[in-house]
Amino acid sequence: MGSVPVFPVPISYLRHGECYIRTMPVTSLKWQLDAESVRETPDQQGVFTLWDADECVYVGHTPWNTSLRDRLREHLALQQEGVIRVSHFSWETTPMPKTRAGDQLTACMAKQGRLPRYNRPDSPLRTPQDCITDLRARF
């Protein structure tokens, strides 16, 4: 039989006999941070990135009891109050949001050479410390 195809993004495979089933997270494009776009965001767990034009300014994830939509509503309110400066967002559904957020944060730091603006210790955004997301999380 043939070999497993190569894809440019990480994809996990499940094998059943000689058949392969591909699974991969659903990732969005950049969306304008406004009420309508947030309303159309999935009511599921995942990770999200906040952008100020082309600069990644925050990488966040959903605790077990909130969804992407919930978290983005919180950030939209902070943007409207002038607490944070954000123009766009992107999201990705995943069953392991904290682990995936760590991967994205590492990639963002490698590209920008520093932590995103709102992931720094002096940020007005705080990551919930007492939340359960996924048990294999690295950060």
Is the pTM higher than 0.95? The answer reads no
pLDDT 10s digits, 92-119: 999 999 999 999 999 999 999 999 999 9
pLDDT in tens, 3-13: 444 333 344 44
SS3 per residue for 73-137 = HHHHHHHHCCCCCCCEEEEEECCCHHHHHHHHHHHHHHHHCCCCHHHCCCCCCCCCCCCCCCCCC
Q: What does the block give as tokens for 122?
A: 């002096």
| Run of H or E including 102 | helix 97-112
Tokens of 60: 């966040």
> What are the extents of the domains in the chain?
25-119
CATH number of 25-119: 3.40.1440.10
